[in-house]
A = this chain, B = another copy of it.
């Protein structure tokens, strides 16, 4: 069974699980939950059903595959997979406000439709739902101690997430951000939740501590490699595939690892990247310099290194059957994006 087959098997159940959690408990909260359902891609901004792009559900897929690959019943892990996806979406709602982004997945962001106050509050509700989702593990026959262990993991990754986000916000005002600072930031902002997703699958499958640690390590390196790829695509990505104009990260003056490395190693780049805005010509110059200075190579090497480590951890976890293979396929696909 290929990754695609497994996706076809898992995803409808995952959507059903998410739908079951994101139901307003009372009619008076219908609008708030409508906002959450909009963000999750099920309704339009008038709250009428309208399937939109809902994101790739990568994290829950990792969780379900990890569970099955450890010999567990993937259906038992649905609450954990849903929790991870809801936590990811909570962070997107708040990030969009914090970054002032008005568009996501081709639609207006929550705050762009409903304003900042409702947007902050809707993110908080999504945060609460992530925990509610996880507690549904009890209804799947997962024993209490294991549910609490899963909650420990979720909360740990939440705190890592906010820690990483705090560093990221701080980067905007700082001229002295180093590549190491950046790596510390994405450990929290990107890697922690991907790692949590994989480990949760192992926990539900009652895998031993060694396997849990291997899968956590797989997720962590995968998350870091994924972010490196994202940074490359932010400059050299095909606009048709990424949905962003090429050079988008340079135009936004985003402090990606690429940009930080470039500025550390080349004074012309440093000057360009310190400007308030860049013309198209300057974006072209910066793009060329990033290549010449070796920044692209540096980031691609790091990506490869983490990719290799991710796959080595996965190998050592010695997963079983098609789910193990599919995890590898998923990892390869994420990292081969739009090259």
Residues of A within 8 A of B (CB): 25-26, 28-29, 31-32, 90, 94, 97-99, 115-118, 120-125, 127-129, 131-132, 135, 138, 144-145, 147-148, 151-152, 155, 158-159, 161-163, 165-167, 169-170, 184
CB pair B32–A163 under 8 Å, yes or no, is: yes
CB pair A116–B128 under 8 Å, yes or no, is: no
Least distance between A156 CB and chain B CB atoms (Å):
8
9 contacts between A and B (CB under 8 A): A28-B184, A32-B166, A94-B120, A98-B120, A124-B158, A124-B162, A129-B159, A144-B145, A147-B148
Most buried by B among A25, A26, A118, A155: A155
Q: What are the residues of chain B within 8 A of A26 when measuring CB–CB?
A: 163
Known: A125-B162, A162-B125, A184-B28. A117 touches B131 (CB 8 A): no
Q: What are the residues of chain B within 8 A of A144 when measuring CB–CB?
A: 144-145, 147-148
Least distance between A281 CB and chain B CB atoms (Å):
31
Please report the C-alpha to C-alpha distance between residue A159 and residue B90 in the assembled complex, in whole angstroms: 14
Q: How many copies altogether?
A: 2
Least distance between A333 CB and chain B CB atoms (Å):
31
Please report the C-alpha to C-alpha distance between residue A191 and residue B193 in the assembled complex, in whole angstroms: 33
CB pair A128–B162 under 8 Å, yes or no, is: yes
Least distance between A19 CB and chain B CB atoms (Å):
16
- Among B25, B31, B151, B169, contact of A135 (Cβ-Cβ < 8 Å): B151
Q: What are the residues of chain B within 8 A of A123 when measuring CB–CB?
A: 120, 124
Please report the C-alpha to C-alpha distance between residue A4 and residue B90 in the assembled complex, in whole angstroms: 41
Q: What are the residues of chain B within 8 A of A31 when measuring CB–CB?
A: 166, 170
CB pair B98–A169 under 8 Å, yes or no, is: no
CB pair B162–A32 under 8 Å, yes or no, is: yes
Q: What are the residues of chain B within 8 A of A32 when measuring CB–CB?
A: 162-163, 166
CB pair A169–B121 under 8 Å, yes or no, is: yes
Please report the C-alpha to C-alpha distance between residue A122 and residue B184 in the assembled complex, in whole angstroms: 18
Please report the C-alpha to C-alpha distance between residue A247 and residue B167 in the assembled complex, in whole angstroms: 42
- Among B125, B152, B169, contact of A163 (Cβ-Cβ < 8 Å): B125
Least distance between A91 CB and chain B CB atoms (Å):
8
Most buried by B among A129, A152, A158, A163: A163
Which residue on B lies nearest to A125, using beta carbons?
B162
Please report the C-alpha to C-alpha distance between residue A211 and residue B155 in the assembled complex, in whole angstroms: 31
Least distance between A229 CB and chain B CB atoms (Å):
24
Q: What are the residues of chain B within 8 A of A161 when measuring CB–CB?
A: 124
CB pair B132–A116 under 8 Å, yes or no, is: no
Known: A98-B116, A120-B120, A144-B145. A28 touches B163 (CB 8 A): yes
Q: What are the residues of chain B within 8 A of A131 when measuring CB–CB?
A: 131, 151, 155, 158
CB pair A28–B167 under 8 Å, yes or no, is: yes
Least distance between A214 CB and chain B CB atoms (Å):
23
Please report the C-alpha to C-alpha distance between residue A167 and residue B152 in the assembled complex, in whole angstroms: 32
CB pair A121–B151 under 8 Å, yes or no, is: no
Please report the C-alpha to C-alpha distance between residue A116 and residue B172 in the assembled complex, in whole angstroms: 14
CB pair B121–A162 under 8 Å, yes or no, is: yes
CB pair A118–B166 under 8 Å, yes or no, is: yes
Q: What are the residues of chain B within 8 A of A118 when measuring CB–CB?
A: 166, 169-170
